[in-house]
Amino acid sequence: MPVQTIIYFRDGKEYVLDASQVLFFEAAGDRTYAQTREHIYRVKHRLYVLETLLPGNFLRVSKSAIVNVDEILSFATLVGTTGVVEFKGSPKKLHISRAYIKALRSALGRRRKVAKNVTEGEIVRERKTKKTMWWRTTAARISAGIVFLVASALVLLNVFGVITLGVNIGILVALAALAIVALYSMFHMFWIGFFFIAATIVTIMNANGIVFDLTGAAIGNIYIVAALLSIAFHILFKRSTFNLGIGVGGDSSASFGNSVKYFEDEFDRASLECNFGGIKAYFENATPKHGEARIDVECNFGEIELYLPKNWRVVDRTHAAFGDSREKGEPVFNANSPTVTIVGEVNFGSLRIVYI
């Protein structure tokens, strides 16, 4: 018979909470955490044990998470990837695995039938969306807009015979835009972007007879070389901010997948790196050493979510290239609040700072 009370641990103390207060349970490494609206707790039980203890409104939604279905505000399925749920009265989010989406939909359907007095704002909304992050930054939108306006103007001038070139003007404009992005990527040591864009430029030039005379097999080998060079340069010439390893802190990385990191100790530096994936990092139970700390982030084609105490003074010094940095919630700090500086790069991705 499921029980509704479990022992929770926080700041060296034991707590007894009703299970209804928990939004979700999540495993990270060899530890299990319980997330409520206000706090993060440790629990001793593994997820497979919690499944036998929790009431029926809790559902496994991934290998590393169990969610309280009654506390879900919205549910979205992301095209070609996973799903994400948001919770009532909380900025926290939880990613779910595709294998569990059908079970979650069924559970939400049963909740709709039972809940007679649910307000419109609490009805679960399913929506399909593509994660197109690059256009969100104002500067990126303006730059991209100018490039496409110029391109469209040149193409029209070529079509009406105002200007005539031996090569399609649209191809030249596309090559110029790609070259600019490639050089920008090289300058910021974003090697994946640089080498794959360079390979794309070679492919376009070959297809339009500008230079080269390569076969399809040769083009395929060029992309293989681009992948190998990306890995090599990433290892050899990685940004120094992510290799210093100074101080007490921690790091986390995610490539082609999702990762979760809980910081619980005193720290003065932490590093988070995301390539074609997602990272969630919780700092509620962490303490900046001597009142100051630094978080290094590197996000390439992905999303990093930082959950920070609202009483921290946060200085965002990240640089976004076709990406964005957003804040959710209102910080409340004073002269005695610790200062945390976030530095790094966001390339074709998103950094989300959530105050809890």
Bridge pairing between strands 90-96 and 58-62: unpaired
| Position 299 pLDDT exceeds 80 | yes
Q: Is 217 helix (H, G, I), strand (E, B) or coil?
A: helix
297's tokens: 């982030």
Distance CA 25, CA 41 (A): 9
Assign domain 5-129 to its CATH superfamily. LytTr DNA-binding domain (2.40.50.1020)
Give the per-residue pLDDT at 113.
61
* Mean of pLDDT values over 201-217: 80
Q: Distance of CA 352 to CAs 39, 83, 163, 268, Å?
A: 19, 17, 46, 21
DSSP 244: -
Give the per-residue pLDDT at 101.
87
Distance CA 162, CA 266 (A): 67
Give the per-residue pLDDT at 282.
94
- How much is the pTM? 0.62
With b for 16 or more beta-carbon neighbours within 10 A and e for fewer, the 30-54 pattern comes to eebbbbbeebbbebebebeebeebb
Model confidence pLDDT, tens digit, residues 55-98: 989 999 999 999 999 999 888 876 545 788 899 888 898 888 88
Domain ranges of the chain: 5-129, 138-236, 243-355
User: Which has the minimum average pLDDT: 28-42, 88-102, 137-151, 204-218?
Assistant: 137-151
Model confidence pLDDT, tens digit, residues 220-253: 889 899 888 888 887 776 554 333 222 334 566 6
Q: Is 228 helix (H, G, I), strand (E, B) or coil?
A: helix
**Is residue 120 very low, low, confident or very high in pLDDT (cuts 50, 70, 90)?**
very low
Bridge pairing between strands 83-87 and 90-96: antiparallel
Residues 6+ apart with CB under 8 A from 170: 151, 154, 155, 158
**Is residue 355 very low, low, confident or very high in pLDDT (cuts 50, 70, 90)?**
very high
The alpha carbon dihedral of 334, 340, 345, 346 has a sign of negative
Give the per-residue pLDDT at 169.
67
